[in-house]
């Protein structure tokens, strides 16, 4: 091996090592869990909710898994006002917020018509604690056999309608998708797909100019998501519902603390760069 070849090899190897060392720490990891028979062990899921009783909301008697979904059963519990008795609030701690960010989840919740009490909700939640949160949710409306996408917000334990909703028809076994996304302007858009073939559509966009309850909802996002949690949970909404909900996807590009998990892409890139140099070195050694 000539001096020039040695220099090239060591430069490539050093670059590969540098990429291996730096990429897993600096990249915004996209978190995806398809709940295939269990929680994805690479996703740092947690169950605690500050201010709730109990703090650890995990209740194994009310959730389980199919081969392709996380099953949650409606508990007789809620985060409403000071009744902070939620169970199975599956969530992630946000440590970094990209300029263009999103969170998305998909599930099947076929609300039956056994009774029309209350407003049972599948909540897609952003929260600081049990008394400060915003919920984008799929809800069955009290007094009628209709469902829709809606919202609520709680600040210091004071509960409010979140300022926007949309009826989507009768209970259905179609998969529902809910998505929240933000961009450089600071606006936050709420989208949904009812699985009827119409695809993902926008329900509304909150901005810094919103006032009233919409402004209240926006305040949870205006202060940034770092230090907050994102997650899903079921709230019985004062009803007597016995349904199960089947989540088959949760995804976000909000950074969560998974730096200890190597990213396959970084390893591949390292090997791709180092391999030609290593092969060259081996050939040179054999030729001696
Ligand atoms: Ca509360």
pLDDT of residue 24: 41
Distance 262 CA to ligand 1 centre (A): 37
Distance 161 CA to ligand 1 centre (A): 13
* pTM to 2 decimal places: 0.80
DSSP string, 197-223: SS--EEEEEE-TT--HHHHHHHHHHHT
pLDDT of residue 149: 98
Distance 136 CA to ligand 1 centre (A): 15
What is the dotted CATH code of the domain comprising 29-259?
A: 2.60.120.200
Contact present, 133 and 79 (Cβ < 8 Å): yes
- In DSSP terms, 149 is beta-bridged to 138, 166
Distance 240 CA to ligand 1 centre (A): 19
pLDDT of residue 4: 55
Distance 205 CA to ligand 1 centre (A): 25
DSSP secondary structure code for residue 9 in this structure: H
Chunk the chain into consecutive blocks of 10 residues (it has 288) and report each block's average pLDDT, rounded to whole numbers: 52 45 47 96 95 98 98 96 97 94 97 80 98 97 92 97 96 96 96 96 97 96 95 93 93 75 33 29 35
Distance 108 CA to ligand 1 centre (A): 26
Distance, in Å, from the CA atom of 144 to the CA atom of 123, rounded to the nearest integer, reads 20
pLDDT of residue 261: 40
Distance, in Å, from the CA atom of 55 to the CA atom of 155, rounded to the nearest integer, reads 19
Distance 260 CA to ligand 1 centre (A): 33
């Amino acid at each position: 091996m000539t001096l020039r070849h040695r220099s090239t090899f060591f430069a490539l190897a050093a670059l590969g090592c540098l990429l291996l060392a730096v990429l897993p720490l600096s990249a915004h990891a996209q978190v995806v869990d398809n709940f295939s028979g269990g929680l994805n062990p690479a996703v740092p899921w947690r169950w605690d909710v500050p201010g709730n009783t109990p703090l650890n909301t995990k209740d194994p008697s009310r959730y389980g898994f199919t081969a392709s979904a996380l099953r949650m059963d409606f508990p007789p519990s809620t985060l409403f006002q000071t009744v902070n008795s939620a169970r199975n609030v599956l969530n992630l701690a946000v440590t970094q917020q990209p300029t263009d960010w999103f969170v998305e989840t998909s599930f099947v919740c076929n609300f039956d018509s056994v009774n029309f009490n209350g407003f049972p909700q599948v909540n897609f939640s952003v929260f600081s604690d049990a008394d400060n949160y915003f919920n984008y949710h799929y809800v069955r409306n009290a007094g009628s056999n209709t469902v829709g996408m809606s919202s609520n917000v709680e600040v210091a334990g004071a509960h409010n309608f979140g300022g926007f909703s949309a009826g989507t028809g009768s209970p259905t076994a179609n998969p529902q998708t809910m998505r929240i996304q933000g961009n450089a302007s600071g606006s936050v858009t709420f989208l949904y797909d009812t699985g009827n073939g119409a695809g993902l559509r926008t329900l509304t966009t909150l901005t810094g100019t919103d006032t009233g309850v919409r402004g209240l909802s926006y305040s949870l996002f205006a202060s940034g998501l770092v230090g907050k949690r994102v997650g899903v949970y079921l709230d019985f909404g004062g009803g007597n519902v016995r349904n199960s909900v089947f989540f088959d996807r949760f995804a976000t590009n909000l950074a969560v603390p998974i730096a200890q998990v190597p990213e396959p892409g970084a390893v591949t890139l390292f090997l791709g760069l180092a391999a030609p140099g290593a092969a060259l070195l081996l050939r040179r050694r054999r030729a001696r």
